[in-house]
Amino acid sequence: MTFALSTASRARLATVHPALREVVERAITLTTVDFVVVQGNRTRDEQMRLYGQGRTAQQCRAEGVPEAYAQPGRARVTWTLNSNHIGGRAVDLAPYVDGGIEWDNSGRLGLWPRIAEAMRAAADDLNVPIVWGGDWKSTPDRPHFELARGWDRPDFSNVVSNVRSTEPFA
């Protein structure tokens, strides 16, 4: 079965580096698991707000994040203020199954490796080196794919638009 990116996914994808966009667009034609783009480019403020999740006001203040962004009762969703999402060099994808996102947090459904396989095949086809956050040992981040550090194509951060889609993930 062949899948296609939704309008909302395309809007989010429009905010990332053109090479990464090409990889995702190719991967959706190769994958055996439908997926959606849940995050593309982030502003620094968006990254600080995400950083505040799972941290106290004191922890935020120590990193230069406004105390108002602290949400100690929530789960941490990021470990850095210097995400490759800032500047459009990363994208988060999620499996889309039976009309909704299937986070498969336990990994028991095996959806994430299948998406990663399609992303790696697409990256190889296009000669674009990528890194999958699911391979990270200390803090795996299964939805996350980024351009490999040191890759020699020009940075896209000075021209990336900050398109936001209010469309549902479908």
Check if the beta carbon of residue 134 is closer than 8 Å to that of residue 113.
yes
Cβ pair 13, 35 in contact under 8 A: no
Residue 102 predicted with pLDDT over 50: yes
Q: What is the mean pLDDT of residues 93-115?
A: 94
The tokens for 157 are 């951060």
Mean pLDDT within 9-22? 96
CA angle 34, 38, 41 (to 5 degrees): 130
Q: Output 105 or 16, whichever has higher pLDDT.
A: 16
- CA-nearest of 96, 132, 98 to 4 is 96
Residues 25-75 pLDDT 10s: 999 999 999 999 999 999 999 999 999 999 999 999 999 999 999 999 999
Question: What are the pLDDT digits (tens) for 121-157?
Answer: 999 999 999 999 999 999 899 999 999 987 755 544 4
| Domains contained in the chain, CATH given | 1-42+83-170 (3.30.1380.10), 44-79 (no CATH)
